[in-house]
Amino acid sequence: MTGLTPAGQGESSAAEREVADRGMKGNQAAEQAGEHFTRGASRQTFWEDQKRRVRRGRLIGFAICIPLWVLSMVPLARESMEGRDGVLVYLTVGAISLGVAAVIRGVYVLLTKRRFLSPWMFVMAALVALAGSAVQGAGEVPVADASALESKAA
């Protein structure tokens, strides 16, 4: 790794203990610990690169998780259509699954003091939509099995 110069094993663990003793969180703790590893302009470059990596990771996460959520709504929306307008059913299923995921994420944010908007919220919404589809289709007999039952009865 270029730009990082460890200050020594003993100093590193002492710095970690000092950060833990002060009770600092997030960037404050990282900056405090980072002072022992980087010097001057290289430290600034390190934090700029770190910020860029985090933003890129979040962007990639959203680019993957939002389409996953949209695709996971399809089975539940198809089962729920029965004579209703298709677009409204998709929007309703999306709003309900995203709403449930937002409530779950909100509780998590209150407990951990993290950002609310995260790609994981869309993963949870996709799981809620798939679980809803499984629950709704649990009591139904599949079409292929229903025709087999009718032929045995006749």
pLDDT in tens, 97-131: 999 999 999 999 999 988 888 888 999 999 998 88
Percent of all residues in the chain with a pLDDT value above 70, rounded to a whole number: 63
pLDDT band at residue 147 using 50, 70 and 90 as cut-offs? low
- Whether the pTM exceeds 0.75: the reply is no
Q: Are 46 and 33 in contact (CB under 8 A)?
A: no
Beta-carbon count within 10 A of 76 CB: 26
